[in-house]
Chain A
């Protein structure tokens, strides 16, 4: 390399190679323009002829995008024309043009990791330098303002504390996906606001998600915004329902979701925060809030979060497969769900009596006399599933048998029957009705190993084309 070039070397005293090459740095400083950025304090290296900068804040190292120390960067004017990492004598000589540089040093020593690569440091630096990829509006809190309280005051919370979405946390969250933060996923109702991956990440931070959950949250948002899910109507309805998230496939296990004991309950971070993140997106991006467009008469506790994983089993097709995907694909299925209604049967050892118990429980979804209105999910526990597995019944056989058992005589459904005013017009009394529309009953396995208890999750009274259909999306990294 020619004369007139200038050099920047990034070092840290803690690195043995950096200490080793101190004489070579002195040689270089005596012959050319050298600036050294040292990452761990002002006392190293001791060079009379060079400009030594204390870079313990790492801003200089970050701007140079250094991954290894020492790194030698060569400039011609303002233009970088080459760099080398660690101590490779031949490379240093070639880059500087000094054929005798470091004659007394070994030919090669590997470098150490730059402090900019330490856990959490890179995102802190990126955030400090303008956040690069982040475009969301920034709010600076007053010095005495508590961040969690500030989130409450701005209406960003579902009632529980949220994690304050700092740029550092959001950048860390975005490390969970390869997708561009600016990618728009769709328009969120009710205000029909375009939502970016970045906005989803902000709300995922607030919900308490880890970065590896983000692809699942994104898929859940995509499903919610799919037209057949009818998120606008689901939000606006006076009915109980809200979006329930069921995750099926390998990623559910990889991110530690709970499909076993207490699967529908509290205590698992992924289950709890993925469902919550979706609701926060609807609330904060879409503007859907109780008392506003959310007109629920009672709502249900699942509107904080309702998310669980499928306990896949070799004997039955998985939910992914039932919804047209491969078993190896991870999918998110959204369902417009009410709360959980338990169904107990501790005596059935054959499929038929157990189906009859299930059918009796399913009959009362919405109202015992309402048909073709709500869909339902039946979450079958392992001990109940075993009854079917032992008899060789597929999930599809169980579903078909339940539909048969839920073919109801119109005379039981008309207004006034059973002393209940609710019901169908009298003229329909001589017909039979399926309780659920075609495709309106979905079976999925989950739960702990002990307990002959399954769960019926009724859906929104408006299903199918009138209202909401379950929607499944593949989770993409």
Chain B
């Protein structure tokens, strides 16, 4: 059998490996962003999460994507990064 050469149909990317940040020691005094992705009843779920976080001494900042079908706009991501120590984002239902 002769040698076969194929052309890579893919991205030719090597995913960069990043170390996850360490877990926060505590939530007291931290600002936690909650990103609502605009799925129905997401607010109900996030209200409960906010209540639990505030009970831990965190302050909660709420954000909302215009639509769940698209990634969060750059401006929104920057706003979250500017104001929050941590962020919680639900990926889907």
Bound: A141/B7 CA distance, A: 11
Bound: A166/B7 CA distance, A: 6
Asked if A237 is an interface residue, CB under 8 A from chain B, the answer is: yes
Provide the residues of chain B in CB contact with A150, threshold 8 Å: 4, 6
Provide the residues of chain B in CB contact with A47, threshold 8 Å: none
Q: Which of B1, B5, B8, B11 contacts A287 (CB 8 A)?
A: B11
Distance to closest chain A CB from B4 (angstroms): 4
B69 with A462: CB separation less than 8 A = yes
Provide the residues of chain A in CB contact with B69, threshold 8 Å: 230, 232-234, 236-237, 462, 466-468
B3 with A238: CB separation less than 8 A = no
Asked if A165 is an interface residue, CB under 8 A from chain B, the answer is: yes
Provide the residues of chain A in CB contact with B10, threshold 8 Å: 156, 284-285, 287
Provide the residues of chain B in CB contact with A467, threshold 8 Å: 67, 69
Using A232-B70, A237-B69 as known contacts, say yes or no to A166 and B5 having CB atoms under 8 A apart. Answer: yes
A164 with B11: CB separation less than 8 A = no
Q: Looking across the interface, which residue of chain B has its beta carbon closest to that of A207? A: B9
A145 with B4: CB separation less than 8 A = yes
Provide the residues of chain B in CB contact with A138, threshold 8 Å: 5-8
Bound: A65/B43 CA distance, A: 68
Produce 1/0 per residue, B44-72, CB < 8 A to A: 00000000000000000000000111110
Q: Looking across the interface, which residue of chain A has its beta carbon closest to that of B10? A: A284
Using A191-B13, A238-B92, A238-B93 as known contacts, say yes or no to A139 and B5 having CB atoms under 8 A apart. Answer: yes
Question: 8 Å CB contacts to A: which residues of B60-93?
Answer: 67-71, 92-93
Asked if A203 is an interface residue, CB under 8 A from chain B, the answer is: yes
Residue of A150, A203, A234, A236 with highest tally of chain B CB at under 10 A = A236
B3 with A232: CB separation less than 8 A = no
Residue of B8, B9, B68 with highest tally of chain A CB at under 10 A = B9
Question: Which residues of A are at the interface with B, using a C-beta cutoff of 8 A?
Answer: 134, 136-141, 143-145, 147, 150-151, 156, 164-167, 170, 191, 193, 199, 202-203, 206, 230, 232-234, 236-238, 280, 284-287, 295, 462, 465-468
Question: Which residues of B are at the interface with A, using a C-beta cutoff of 8 A?
Answer: 1-13, 67-71, 92-93
